[in-house]
Structure 1
Amino acid sequence: MTKCTTSTTSFPRCKGRQVSASFDGGEITSDGGALLLRQLGREWGLTRTIARRPSPVARRPSPVARRRDDTRASRRCQHRAETMLRQRAFGLALGYEDLNDHHALRRDIALQTAVDTDSVLASQSTLCRFEQQASRQWAVAIQEEIVEQFIRSFRRPPKKRLILDFDATDDPVHGEQLGRHFSGFYDGYCFLPLYVFCGQQLLVSYLRPVYRDAAYHAGAILALLVRRLRQAWPEVKVVFRGDSGFCRPMILNWCERHGVEYIVGLATNSRLEKLSLDIRYESAIRWEAERTKQRHFGRIHYAAHSWKRPRRKVVVKAETSHRGFNTRYVVTNLHGSPQWLYDHRYCPRGDMENRIKEQQWLFSDRTSWHDWWPNQYRLLLAGLAYRLLERLLERLRRVYLKRTAYATAQVTTLRLKLLKIGGVVIRNTRRVRLMLSSHYPDQDLFLKLVKKLVPG
């Protein structure tokens, strides 16, 4: 039976006026900025490339040509793989973490237009079945394409060193997921995903069990990345950077054999404390004399039992303040003074913590599937959403955000300010029109960005 009337809710009067509300406003969206994601997706082509099937005539396609294998019967499918991939990635970018959210979102005309369709989008059950197909081939295809997009983002070979930041973080789980284990360090059941960033660009998000070492598979991933980057740019200089969890002799030896520079944290032990005693003593003496925070740097020769030979460039930072002693050790093969290496080469890795937080704000920790590969797929979906928003931020910072409040904006700020825009949507056979809010505060920035993204 057709419902011809809507219920109206009344509120207390305001300045003598009657106040009421009802759900009869028509097609209204709260995600008017989704069209920006559409333009970036079309320009970038990531979802289209990942969703492409491998050629049936190619016996052994190259790793770059290999794509996600969609096992569904295409003639019986209403929703294409590319459309569903966009729907999920755009949904995460817009702040919708659950598949249940798509029960209502599938009818949002703004989101339908963003994913390039004029029909109802996939339901939560369809998306659920689609994600359950995830396999190792899906993960490899997405990871490879993210790296290829990173390479294509450079118009010419990079002149500066490419610093690859490696770090791991905990991903708590609350069910009986395959691969979950209890971690005494994190005091809970979790996974231990590995992230690799180059500046603000994501290269790898790799799901791992927590019972493995923090550097598990890090050496293999580093080797694959360096090989691919050198295929694209033979003269490129690559720097491996990580905390003490990645200070493994196998990785350091590989870097030295293959001409890769590194700067890695070194865990404190009694031998290091003995070798650095003079540096720490000088810092303490200055503190007693001046009662101001003291930072002293030096270099020592050190060799762990698992190292084949001593390494001369072990940087020592000895800090003394009213809080006590704070001594750090870093092993490197880079050239420069100890203080410069520590402050300008090692310390900037701390910014990677912000990048990992942004991954979590895009729901990378929503690994609630029972099976392993669907959880890896969700981790990568968050990575795709981050790449879209990061690319949008890159465009903005390059031209429009200099000397503005958004110059150091994070993805959550971008989502709130540029994507969550209310408006009325009208769609007919000739056009789709979004009438955005007249009181939207960043209209000039939005229009400039559209002019930059849309050619002509």
Structure 2
Amino acid sequence: MIRDAQTALFDFFPGRTIEIHQVDEQVSTDGGLIAFRELDKKLGLTESFAAQIRDPRADPTQSLLSVIRQRIFGIIAGYEDQNDHDTLRSDPVFKLIADRTPDDHDLASQPTISRVENSVTAGDLIRLEDWFIDRFVESFDEDPDSITLDIDTFADSAHGTQQLTFFNNFYKDNIYQVRVITCAENDQIALPVLLYGTAHVSLGAADDLTRVINALHRRYPDLHVTVRADAGFAVPHLYEALDCLANVTFSIGYQMNSLMQEKCEELMDLTLKTFETTGKTTKNYMHLQHQSRNWSRAYDLVIKCEANEQGTNRRVVITNRPGAEQYPDGTYQEYADRGESENRNKELTVDLCADRLSDHRYMANLFRTMMHAVSCNLLARFRGVVAEAPVDSGPDADGIPLEAGSEHRKRTEGNRRRRRDPLGRGRAMTWRTLVIKVAARVETTTRHVRLLIPSSWPHADYLWKVSRSLASFAPSG
């Protein structure tokens, strides 16, 4: 039904006017978001997440679970701020996600969401940390033989005077630091942490990694775990903590200081001469054992020397990985593969806006970090559900398999996989374009709720594929 309201008129079309009318219908621009709610039902993510929080409100109109679902599904759809829900609270799809019909009362407003986020206690957050670790351990479809954990941080610029934001000289800004432990095999965030602005990035990292690894070993006693981190985590107590854990190896970036430069000077000269002769990017690797004065023992170091058109580059990795002496190139390449995990962190910040922590209280902002992490994990699980079986590219002309190939070859093959399987390899923005962002009219009957989408929508085949994959998906355990 067309409302009796003002009409927008345009006359650019030859011979006819174009009119825009507002109609009394239940319409949403995020029709495909329903598929995420179906996956969430099968996994029980938002329900179990909300169960960790003790809601202090008495007989609230908006349940804690409903508010959390608003925020988590809103983040997935590209609505990262509380303010967005002042307009989304009457959206029929968001109501369905919260287990309400489109005609039910509206969802939570921004002030209600803010009160919920600010009511979270330290005890709630500790329980949520345990929840993240437990859900990560349960996230594998089959018992793994080995996995790789990457630990990294990113900056969240302060929005005003927020608790525990300080000026960080490296970032030249007042910030929080978000630290995440992620899994290279399934893209899951095992544990998100919010550090104060001037904290060393390694603060508590040994304890957090130990918690995650011990939980994995309780479930999978023979599991081998590899830990990778950049040079910010190159601190002796982290090496020693990981060294004490059974079935754990690590590769951590190490500072290129004057001593390391001296030790690899001859190799750097050789690398540069080779590049000048061939004109092609040249990389060489060397191994050495080194023990600093504050280390309890000597560790293996692998040094990469590179020369290309942009100049020279040296990198050092400290490791306890077996075979580092015999295969320094393979050891370094295994470490360099952590670049894919950094892409997941970019997705968390750029696509899912986890660097938009605007509450005043530190604990509220940690809670928001955790909701962003749940959104990221739900999307990663969906990628796994719809992913097509990878095509084995086989060895190259020299008989070298892809795993041992060059960075360029791996990057090229990764781009091919993304083109072949845009959902199984796609980031949040791809999912929004191909699945989530579709206009839908919602009709409710006594037996059904129907979402009617345009027949002209060019990406409908992706939504049907998602629906079929969900129908056959059953979580392990």
Q: Same fold (TM over 0.5)?
A: yes
Counterpart of 2:67 in structure 1 is 84
Rounded to whole Å, the distance in 1 between the matches of 2:465 and 2:40 is 18
Do 1:102 and 1:124's aligned partners in 2 also have CA atoms closer than 8 Å? yes
Distance 1:4 1:280 in 2: 75
- 1:32 counterpart letter in structure 2: G
Match of 1:382 in 2: 372
| Structure 2 residue runs without a partner (length 5+) | 391-417
> Which amino acid in structure 2 is aligned with residue 240 of structure 1?
V
Residue number in structure 2 paired with 1:451: 468
Q: Residues of 2 paired with 1:108 and 1:95: CA distance?
A: 15
Match of 1:326 among 307, 313, 318: 313
SS in 1 for 2:338: helix
Write the distance in 2 (CA, Å) between the matches of 1:155 and 1:446: 23
Q: Give the counterpart letter for 2:158 in structure 1.
A: V
TM-aligned CA deviation for residue 156 of structure 1: 3.2
Which one of the candidate residues 220, 243, 250 is aligned to 1:262?
A: 250
**Distance in 2 separating the partners of 1:443 and 1:275:** 59
Residues 1:4 and 1:31: Cα distance change in structure 2 (over 3 Å): closer
Equivalent residue number for residue 201 of structure 1: 188
What's the counterpart of residue 80 of structure 2?
97
Cα distance in 1 for residues equivalent to 2:83 and 2:277: 64
Partner of 2:174: 189
Point out the more displaced range, 86-95 or 12-21. 12-21
Per-residue CA deviations over 1:187-222 (Å, capped at 9, x if unaligned) read 110011111110121112210012111111111101
Q: In structure 2, what is the Cα distance between the partners aligned to 1:4 and 1:441?
A: 30
Please list, as runs of the form range in 1=range in 2, the aligned pairs for 1:58-137 lying within 5 A after superposition.
67-73=52-58, 76-118=59-101, 119=104, 120-137=106-123
> 1:225-244: CA deviations, max 9, x gaps?
11111111111111111011
Distance 1:211 1:4 in 2: 56
Paired position in structure 1 for 2:6: 7
Separation of aligned partners in 2, 1:322 and 1:98: 44
Instruction: Give the Cα separation in 2 of the matches to 1:314 and 1:207.
Output: 31
Report what 1:218 is aligned to.
Answer: 205
Where does residue 40 of structure 1 map in the other structure? 39
CA contact (8 A) 1:298 1:315 kept: yes
Residues 75 and 375, structure 2, Cα contact 8 Å, conserved in 1: yes
In the other structure, the counterpart of 2:273 is 285
Q: Cα distance, 1:404 vs. partner? A: 3.8
Task: State the AA in 1 paired with 2:303.
Answer: V
Report matched runs for 1:310-389 at 5 Å: 310-311=298-299, 313-336=300-323, 337-343=327-333, 345-360=334-349, 361-389=351-379
User: Does 2:224 align with 1:241?
Assistant: no
Partners of 2:469 and 2:331 lie apart in 1 by 39
Does structure 1 conserve the Cα–Cα contact (< 8 Å) formed by 2:383 and 2:423?
A: no
- Aligned equivalents of 1:301 and 1:155: distance in 2? 39
Question: Could you say which residue in structure 2 is the equivalent of 1:409?
Answer: 426
Assess if the C-alpha contact under 8 Å between 1:172 and 1:189 holds in 2: yes
Aligned-residue CA RMSD (Å): 2.0
How many positions carry a matched residue from both structures?
435
Once residues 285 and 455 of structure 1 are traced to their aligned partners in structure 2, the CA distance between those partners, rounded to angstroms, is 58
CA distance in 1, matches of 2:162, 2:148: 34
SS at 1:15's partner residue? coil
Secondary structure at the counterpart of residue 298 of structure 1: strand
Against the structure 1 CA distance between its residues 407 and 82, is the aligned structure 2 distance closer, same or farther, given a 3 Å change threshold?
Answer: closer
Distance across 2 between alignment mates of 1:156 and 1:455: 17
Q: Give the whole-Å Cα distance in 2 for the aligned partners of 1:449 and 1:292.
A: 45
Q: 2:458 aligns with which of 430, 441, 448?
A: 441
SS at match of 2:366: helix
Q: TM-score, normalised by structure 1?
A: 0.91
For 1:4 and 1:443, locate their aligned partners in 2 and report how far apart those are by CA, in whole Å. 30
Structure 1 match to 2:284: 296
- The answer to whether 1:307 aligns with 2:286 is no
Using the TM superposition, give the Cα deviation of residue 153 of structure 1 relative to its aligned residue in structure 2, in angstroms.
2.2
Deviates more, 1:441-450 or 1:185-194: 441-450
- Is the contact made by 1:393 and 1:414 (CA closer than 8 Å) also made in structure 2? no
Question: Percent same amino acid at aligned positions?
Answer: 27
**2:195 match: secondary structure:** coil
Partners of 1:193 and 1:5 in 2: CA distance:
50
Contact preservation (8 Å) 1:46, 1:145: no
**Residue by residue, what CA displacement relative to the aligned partner does 1:385-415 show, whole Å, maximum 9, x if unpaired?**
1112111122222469882444532111112
Residue 292 of structure 1 aligns to a residue in which SS? coil
Q: Secondary structure at the match of 2:198?
A: coil
Show CA shifts across 1:115-173 (max 9, x none).
Answer: 212332122221111111022223223332232222222243202x2111011111101
The equivalent residue for 2:386 is 396
String of CA shifts for 1:387-445, please: whole Å, max 9, x gaps. 12111122222469882444532111112221111011112443221101211112122
> Which runs of at least 4 in structure 1 moved beyond 4 Å after TM superposition?
399-402
2:231–2:254 contact (8 Å) kept in structure 1: yes
Q: Which residue identity does 1:386 align to in structure 2?
A: C
Aligned equivalents of 1:300 and 1:385: distance in 2?
43
Q: Which 5+ residue runs of structure 1 have no aligned equivalent?
A: 53-66
Give the deviation of 1:25 after TM superposition: 5.3
Change (3 A) 1:455 1:25: farther
- Counterpart of 1:190 in structure 2: which amino acid? I
In 2, Cα distance between equivalents of 1:100 and 1:292: 53
Find the residue that maps to 1:14 and give its secondary structure. Answer: coil
Alignment check: 8 A CA contact 1:262 1:333 kept: yes
1:167 matched residue in structure 2: 152
